[in-house]
Amino acid sequence: MQDFTTRRGVVFGLGATGLLAACGNGIGSNGAAQIDARVDATQNYLFGRYPGTRDLASRAAGVLYMPLVTEAGLIYGGSYGRGALRIRGATVDYYSAAKASIGLQIGAQQYAHALFFMTQEALEEFRRSAGWAASADLRYATPEEGASIGKATTEMEPVIALVFGQQGLIAGASLAGVKYTRIIP
């Protein structure tokens, strides 16, 4: 019975990977120009919808924008997206974000997120690493917080993640980690 469950998990994992590849999130498409255009649109949406994020970005050492992350899960799950790291408004690197999860979960969704590196040290650590994984130290903000996020909420946080623009439905509780890796589009 254990062997059957393991094979089922592998088959589902491969199926989820195929689903993510077909979701139009930029997998398989080349081009820094396409990523930059999506990042521009995401940044404009973020600043227009949540005005407090403009000030947050101006105080950050750098911001990683992930304009489209596609996530799906049924017990086993995963997500993938691509984006760009910007320092003082200029793109300096491109990254992918991949997540694997296991737990009580079902559904699919797409969303955007941005990582605000509030200290130079946090930004340098991110850029030096071969693959940076989000950890418990990361502060996650909801879209409601993004509208009024200000200095009082960010003075002590080295990295702040803002997740926004969710579409779709995914429910459950799972264990997961997100790994960010530098890519060449």
| 3 state DSSP class of 65 | strand
- Range scoring the smallest mean pLDDT among 38-47, 116-125, 149-158, 176-185: 149-158
Query: d(Cα 33, Cα 50) in Å, to the nearest integer?
Result: 25
Instruction: Answer for the pair 151, 144: CB distance below 8 angstroms, yes or no.
Output: no
Of 89 and 166, more confident: 89
- In percent, how much of the chain has pLDDT > 70? 68
The model's pLDDT over 120-172, given as tens digits with 9 standing for 90+, comes to: 999 999 999 877 765 433 444 445 544 434 333 344 578 888 888 888 777 76
Q: Where are the domains of the chain?
A: 2-183
Q: Is the dihedral of CA 116, 118, 120, 121 positive or negative?
A: negative
Residue 29: pLDDT band (50, 70, 90) is low
